Structure 1
Amino acid sequence: MTTFSMLLQGTKRWFIPMKATRQRYTFYSLLVIMSSLWMLIMFLLFGIYSQYLRIDFDKATFAVSALLHPSTYLNKILLGSEQGTLQLWNIRSNKLLYSFPGWGLAVTTLQQAPAVDVVAVGLVSGHIIVHNIKFDETLMKFQQDWGPITAVSFRTDGHPVMAAGSPVGHIALWDLEEKKLMCQMQDAHSTAIAGMTFVPGEPLLITNGADNALRVWIFDGPGGTGRVLRSRMGHSAPPTKIRYHGQNGEQILSAGQDGTLRSFSTVHEKFNKSLGRGSINKKKSKKKGLKLDTMALPPITAFASEVAHQSDWDGIVACHQGYITCTTWNYQKTSMGAHKLRPEEFSKRKPIDIYATAVDITSCGNFAVIGMSTGRVDVYNMQSGIHRGRYGKETAHEGAIRGVAVDGLNQLVITAGSEGLIKFWKFKMKDLVYSTELSSSPSGILLHRDSGILGIAFDDFTISVLDIETRKIVRTFSGHHGQINDMTFSPDGRWLITSSMDCSIKTWDLPSGCLIDCFLVDSAAVSLTMSPTGDFLASAHVDDLGIYLWSNRSLYSLVSLRPLPADYEPSLVTLPSTCPMQDVDVSGDEEPCDEMIEYISPEQLGEQLVTLSLLPESRWKNLLNLDIIKKKNKPREPPKVPKSAPFFIPTLPGLIPRYIPPEEETDTQSKVVNLGILAQKSDFYIHLEEALSTNEYKAPLDLLKSLGPSNIEVELRSLAPEGGGSVEVMLSFLRMIGMMLNKKYNFELAQAYLALFLKLHLKILSSEPKLLEELSKLSMHLEETWIHLQALFNQSLCVLTYMKSALL
């Protein structure tokens, strides 16, 4: 993958070579696996990550069906079998310690009681045996009429209560002191109870079932019954269609094969919502209950949502599998809406062979456009549910409607028919504007309203992009080898992401018309949707209850978006799962991702281009104004140090004491210093001298670039003979400037250094013929360079002016 990557963290994994894993159990640092091959395999979870023990059983005599580590039994494990017998094993010495005769019925579950040596044994007949394994004695026996015992748990907060689960979703609570049934919690789950556990020391029971629900029950009411404290639920059947709801990219609407419509939050699970299950008559459905609901609608096959006016009326419309009526839903109330949208002539009778196939909502949220299997397209008002007209005299298309879309301004309605036509209609007048014939029968359409581009999926596994302004096909993509299940646009309309039954997910770049990303998944993606913010791609897959989020890596890292070659072999991406992977050996190394290598720009892109030095302006811009800067920074009056008076004031000898006047200093020696005698040669000076013979000026230039403005002035002053330099070194400096102008490299530095050099040594330059000749060459070269540079400036300005003023 290059564009999208799964939100997975690397962990240590083991892959067990088994046909199926029936049960897993952990205690201490061991993981115990019970397989359908009637063997137990134990692994060390910490340390060496290796197999600890393996025990094989004969299926005919002892087929393991349940396991438990009894409390305080060190290195012991209790096993139950389908034959009804129990065995106690020492896993350290790999020895059978004791065999319990059992009750002649298959053991379904084992659970430790709060009392030591006591366990609860659940049987396939619905019996619960509370047994003392130390003395092999049965303490009490219970029976429930809902089938085999699926789970057992004990309260540990001081109440002698045992809970038992059943395959029909009911929970029975037994009073251990009175040895009788205390109460029942019917329909705790819609399917079998898979597991239950009381929180230690708390009146809380956690249950999960095959209905993909996890519930926490609190026992604080009279009669000992429990109520739901909190729950987490998902679809009990795989999703059929998912779409982002709203513009913040935080909610995903999902329709499942279980007939429910749910909202999943990408921020936190506590924001998840269930909009319920579609029903023909909600009042009758509530009276009959969920399991006996004969009014339930078929699963949703397509839906559309809009946040505009969703607080005023229903903002979601959905069509159901093989059903003519479309339902409205209210996101704010999290329930099915009040309107059922269907043609007026079918209000009393409901034909079996006519059903809704496509739906869309206008951006204002006022109207819904619905396409039928007969080719009919109708418009309904979302607020009142009243029919507002239809497109075409009788039908809009001769074949079934495969897709409908409304533009962002409510001006055009685009419809696609199975006969291979795309038609454009005036939204208000219902008149046909334009019709175009396609190369194949379309299977679905998707409109990106902001950019006005329409994605069309065909039955021949190709995808086309149509511009609704010009009404022409602008892009055609091929590469899928199966039915196109769904497609989605990126928020900016640059990418089109498609999924197919060939288990591939591909990303097409519309401006370049190329495939930029492709990867395979284990099961085909039936639906795709991309976040309005562009950070996540959500996918739903065949026979999978979950919705998977893929992060857009191009938002936070450098990703190569170059076109993929025609012979590109996509890699298989394993979806995250809680189930053990079988017969697979995967190394811990991650697949190297095709990220873009950061481009490092060379110092000079081309010799014909003028290249700057990238030094800050403070290093060269004020070289000509250093004397002004020094005058401004110079203090007005230097600080005066007070003269220290002597302790004994000197006097002249005589009768009248007189002070000795201070001696006046006389200049007996000249203060003019010959710098040429005292000056030492600097590194810059030495490099310039060497360049006279080698003609290599990189070293003196690099040294000069590393100096500050004041040091640069000192170095240039020292080049003159009066500063300790020579005419030859000054000539070498001018040649260095000529080299910089010739290569068009460090162009602004050459101008600044040359200007300062001319300011400091103008008198000497005018009196030396060698220097004058070199200066004339520099002047001609500099003039040619500026003429070339000015031509480039004029060309760029001309193009920019044309682009700004031309009508494109």
Structure 2
Amino acid sequence: MPRTGSALFSGFRVLGLYSNHVPHALRYHQKHREFYVVTSVGKSFHTFNVSRLGIVCVSNSLPDDITCLAADRMLVFAASGTTVCAFARNKEVVMRYHGHKQEVRLLLPLGDHLVSADSGGDVIVWDVQGGDIYLQLNFDPGTFDVSAMMHPSTYLNKVLLGSRQGALQLWNIRTSKLLFTFPGWSAAVTVLQQSPAVDVVGVGTATGHIIIHNIRLDETLMSFTQDWGPISTLAFRTDGPPIMASGSPQGHIALWDLERQQLVAQQRHAHRTAVAAATFLHGEPLLVTNGADNAIKVWIFDQEGSGARLLRCRQGHSAPPTTIHHHGNDGKNILSAGQDGSLQSFSTVHERFNKNMGHGSISKKKEKKKKKGLAYEELRLPAVTVLASAVTRQSDWDGVVALHRGRLAASTWNYHRCTMGAHHLKPPAVRKNAVATAVDITSCGNFAVIGSSCGRVDVYNLQSGLHRGCYGDEEKAHSGVVRGLATDTLNQLTVSCGSDWLLKFWRFKTRKQEVVLKLSAAPAILRLHRDSGMVAMAMDDFTLVVVDMETKRIVRKFAGHHGNITDMTFSPDGRWLVTTAMDCTIRTWDLPSGSLVDCFLVAMAPVGVSMSPTGDFLATAHVDSLGVYLWTNRSLCGPVGLRPLPADYQPEEETLPSAAAALTEQEVTSEEPDDAFQSAEQLGAELVTLSLMPESRWKSLLHLDAIKRRNRPLAPPAAPPSAPFFLPTRPGLTPQFALPSTTKEDSQSKVLPWGSLTQRSEFAVALELALDTGSFDGPLRLLKDCGPAGVSVELTCLTSEGGGANSLLLAFIQMVDSMLASGRDFDLAHAYLALFLKLHLRTLSQDAVAMETLLRLSSRLESGWAELQASFNQSLCLLSYTKSALL
């Protein structure tokens, strides 16, 4: 059967995804007395507790991306395409609502009903429990295109609808009647929000106007104007101060005082993108916001002047990551640099260990005074393109070096302090248009080697940031762009490759050139596995070359990719080389055999790959995706049959892992039957297998009498004195006690007949049946279920005195013989046989057939123990020899 998907890697989960452009939903759990925020991350949603912003649950995936979210006390509602799904326990889909013909974009829970509106003008009221359509309204998008929806407080069965044309309509969903139409304010309505005051509604428009309107009197109480464009969200504070918060598409938040009717504070750059939603917690000075910049933030209002400060946040990359790299030797942290210019560290253990190292700044502390006139964005460094890190001296000085797009100077970062370092590594006297293109940090953590587009390869001291020299004559290592750099474990050799089709080996200390290899094409990427000394290069012609640093010769060549190779990584033991390319494939090459052993497709082209130093996870980054995806290495969990793939192998697509660490049904069914391994019940004829039952079930069988004597009570139980309050008497003048009447049945003996006790147990019946069939699995299973006392009773009742028969004794001996012959349940066989001989040896000695059977069993015991003794002696001799060799 042809293999489908990947035989080596399976999707585990994704890191760094927290939110997108869909407004969040806030819910309160009465039993936990805690607020939870629900955010969408594509086809599923996450639930976080507001107190710590720790992830509580991840929902099951939907077929399409989620377009809107809503929640009530019991359920979470998510719209995906034309379908609305109800989730229970934040995870399971318990109800689906089908009826929309266009994409659903608004949801509003209202008691036992759910109101949904789509882009085609249909507004449907659903019965939440039954899933039936309670009411359906049809609007013409040309005259009334529904853009906002809310339920006015204390208005029973009423829904207020806002439109892109500016008008508002108040509907009674129970009677299906239009109650009132508000003409609007000549601007599209973007937000409708209930204020703490009854009858008062906040209306946000596309022109930046905020209107506080009384819908009962149809009177505008006050209005505000936001200078940052349309109103994306509105929120009213409910813990006392009359504060209203409004969000903008630029990511700013404005705070308005409703009493003084003025702007009191601004929270600029709260999000890097539009503020999707902002919600005040009921009765608390906390504001929860989310945005398309992949961030959830909680702001607290504890400052003077109604200002807010950031209390806690969960934030990932706001733009797709460009490069990823495992940091450290434990494989628990992944450094990721994104197109947003930020550098972050994601933990594979728990989100609380994530680190946001922020954005790099062009100006240093001494230059800040000169740069005051520059804008905020102009001071930021561009996105990181190449990254290198070392943990050897990271507690003493900066251990991370990053190259930025279009810049010659490299920045240093401190992983412990989660900040940008103190140095900008820049070579002296370089032409203007040169940029840094390659970087590597030595294994000792003292030096950084940086290559540039002008062909220079420079060495810097990371402690002081000083330039320590360069490679090559006339300060030029290559005649073209330096594409890759690497240093070996002992700082003896430095390897560099460039666009001049040359691979050069240099002495690290003297910086003298040793060997030059002419390549078949220009290399694009270089990776070194320091333990094995193997250098892998990806060429511009989509081929791979592996060079041995010891012999300085090409040892492997691979071809198979049909697009630019974006990244590659070695396995910890240096056996595999994992490569990614723009043809959307992830390929695993086996270096000893020189063949392709695994290949699979992904939906989005991978741009970065890194394998954990422990070999348990493979991390990938993809185009147009904000997360870092983890794949588990199946070879660590069990045997994996890897065979060379043919040249015309057509890979199958693997689904990218979601945030939940669970196997899907497709992954289970995609297992290859040939590669599936099932352990045998018995590994070899010369070996034995124990039963793995507790020792108390078989070790105390020979000591049951001693256990009974030890547990015997010291004094016999005393019968309580009992005298009836009324004794029956016979009628007459002389009082006489009446004896109980006796019947014919009562006058008979109370001793039960012997035949009533001769009914055989289930074990005896199964043992007699096994004597005919030859399979003793059934009685052995019944005997395993019994405790020590039960086993003793079952073996005692095998004789004719106990209700059995002499044939059962022979059957039990044969059962023990079959157990010893198979080698399974070795401990139970000896324990049962010892108790059996203790109980019935006198009876067996008088039966010639039984004694002959026992002699055969004895010879089998002796041969079995002889084989085990030989195995024990061989193992002990081998251990003694190993110990003596080590000493």
Partner of 1:11: 60
Q: Offset of 1:357 from its aligned partner?
A: 1.0
Who is 2:266 aligned against? 184
Q: How far apart in 2 are the matches of 1:289 and 1:31?
A: 53
1:592 pairs with one of 654, 665, 669: 669
Q: 1:268 Cα deviation (Å)? A: 3.7
Residue 413 (structure 1) aligned with residue 488 (structure 2): no
Map of 1:611 onto structure 2: 686
1:82 equivalent to 2:164? Answer yes
Contact 1:688–1:729 (CA under 8 A) maintained in structure 2: no
Preserved CA contact (<8 Å) 2:603 2:653: no
TM-score relative to the length of structure 1 = 0.73
TM-score, with normalisation over the residues of structure 2?
0.67
Aligned with 1:149: secondary structure?
Answer: coil
How has the CA–CA distance of structure 1 residues 707 and 162 changed in structure 2, closer, same or farther, with 3 Å as cutoff? closer
Rounded Cα–Cα distance in structure 1 between residues aligned with 2:355 and 2:374? 18
Asked if residue 167 in structure 1 is aligned to residue 216 in structure 2, the reply is no
Q: Gaps spanning 5+ residues in structure 2: where?
A: 1-5, 15-57, 63-78, 83-100, 692-701, 707-800, 823-827
Shift of 1:102: 1.0
Alignment of 1:345-494 (within 5 A): 345-346=429-430, 351-352=432-433, 354-394=434-474, 395-494=476-575
Cα contact 1:119–1:132 (8 A) shared by 2: yes
Equivalent residue number for residue 768 of structure 1 = none
Distance 1:565 1:572 in 2: 17
- Deviation track 1:153-209 (CA, whole Å, cap 9, x = no partner) reads 111012112122223333332222233333333343344332211111111222234
The match for 1:584 is none
Secondary structure of the residue that 2:864 maps to in structure 1?
A: helix
**2 CA distance for matches of 1:251 and 1:491?**
16
Match of 2:695 in 1: none
Q: Does the 8 Å CA contact 2:682/2:689 hold for their aligned counterparts? A: no
Alignment of 1:474-623 (within 5 A): 474-555=555-636, 557-558=637-638, 560-563=640-643, 565-566=645-646, 567=649, 569-574=651-656, 576=658, 592-594=669-671, 597-601=676-680, 603=682, 611-614=686-689
Note the C-alpha offset of 1:152.
Answer: 1.2
Relative distance call for 1:35 and 1:358 in structure 2 (3 A) is farther
Question: Kindly tell me: are residues 236 and 517 of structure 1, through their superposed partners in 2, closer, same or farther at Cα, counting changes over 3 Å?
Answer: same
Q: Closer, same or farther in 2 for the Cα pair 1:410/1:526, shift >3 Å? A: same
Contact 1:402-1:418 within 8 A present in 2 as well: yes
Partner of 1:225: 307
Contact 1:560/1:594 (CA < 8 Å) preserved in 2? no
Cα deviation, residue 93, structure 1: 5.3
Where do residues 136-175 of structure 1 align in structure 2 (5 Å cutoff)? Answer: 136-175=218-257
CA contact (8 A) 1:684 1:715 kept: no
Alignment partners' CA distance in 1, 2:665 and 2:174: 30
Q: Which moved more, 1:561-570 or 1:708-717?
A: 708-717
Task: State the AA in 1 paired with 2:163.
Answer: S
Letter in 1 for 2:393: H
- 1:705-745 deviations in whole A, cap 9, x for unaligned? 785358679999999xxx5566x99999999999x8xxxxx
Deviation of the 1:243 alpha carbon: 1.3
Structure 2 CA distance for partners of 1:689 and 1:280, relative to 1, 3 Å: closer
**What is the alpha-carbon distance in structure 2 between the residues aligned to residue 341 and residue 597 of structure 1?**
53
Match of 1:708 in 2: 833
Give, in whole Å, the separation in 1 of the partners of 2:300 and 2:283.
12
CA 1:699 to 1:598, structure 2 compared with 1: closer, same or farther past 3 Å?
closer
Task: Specify whether residues 730 and 467 from structure 1 end up closer, same or farther in structure 2 by C-alpha distance, changes over 3 A only.
Answer: farther
1:288-315 CA deviation, whole Å, 9 max, x = no partner?
4885443433221101111222232221
Aligned: 1:248 with 2:248: no
Deviation by residue 1:4-58 (Cα, 9 ceiling, x = unmatched): 32238662637424886645554546665544444446666x6556777654432
Per the alignment, in what secondary structure is the counterpart of residue 391 of structure 2?
Answer: coil
8 Å CA contact retained: 1:373, 1:401: yes
Alignment of 1:676-695 (within 5 A): none
Using a 3 Å threshold, how does the CA distance of structure 1 residues 729 and 501 change in structure 2: closer, same or farther?
Answer: same
Change (3 A) 1:194 1:278: same
Distance 1:407 1:54 in 2: 71
User: 1:200 and 1:602, CA in 2 relative to 1: closer, same or farther beyond 3 A?
Assistant: closer
Deviation at 1:282, TM superposition (A): 3.5
Structure 2 residue 411 is matched with structure 1 residue 330: no
Check if 1:126 corresponds to 2:191: no
CA gap of 1:564–1:19, structure 2 versus 1, over 3 A, is farther
Distance 2:546 2:126 in 1: 54
Q: Give the aligned partner of residue 100 of structure 1.
A: 182
Aligned-partner residue type, residue 602 of structure 2 = V
Which structure has more RCO (C-alpha within 8 Å, separation ≥ 6)? 2
Match of 1:237 in 2: 319
1:592 maps to amino acid: T
The alignment partner of 1:383 has SS state of coil
Deviates more, 1:320-329 or 1:68-77: 68-77
Secondary structure of the equivalent of 1:493? Answer: coil
- Match in the other structure for 1:301: 385
Cα distance in 2 for residues equivalent to 1:688 and 1:258:
76
Using the alignment, how far apart are the partners of 1:369 and 1:540 within structure 2? 25
1:252-267 matches, within 5 Å, as 252-267=334-349
Q: How many residues align?
A: 678
Give the drift of 1:599.
2.3
Would you say the 8 A contact 1:237–1:257 is kept in 2? Answer: yes
CA contact (8 A) 1:688 1:733 kept: no
Letter in 2 for 1:252: I
Partner of 1:343: 427
CA distance in 2, matches of 1:217, 1:752: 74
| Contact preservation (8 Å) 2:190, 2:231 | yes
Offset at residue 125 of structure 1 (A): 2.1
Q: Deviations over 1:106-140 (max 9, x none)?
A: 11211111122221001122221111223322222
Q: Match of 1:708, SS?
A: helix
Alignment gaps of 5+ in structure 1: 579-586, 617-628, 634-677, 691-696, 741-745, 756-785
| Partner residue, 2:734 | none
- 1:496–1:69 distance in 2 versus 1, CA, 3 Å: farther
- Cα shift at 1:594: 1.7
* Secondary structure in 2 matching 1:749: helix
Identity of aligned pairs, percent? Answer: 50
Deviation of 1:83 (Å): 0.8
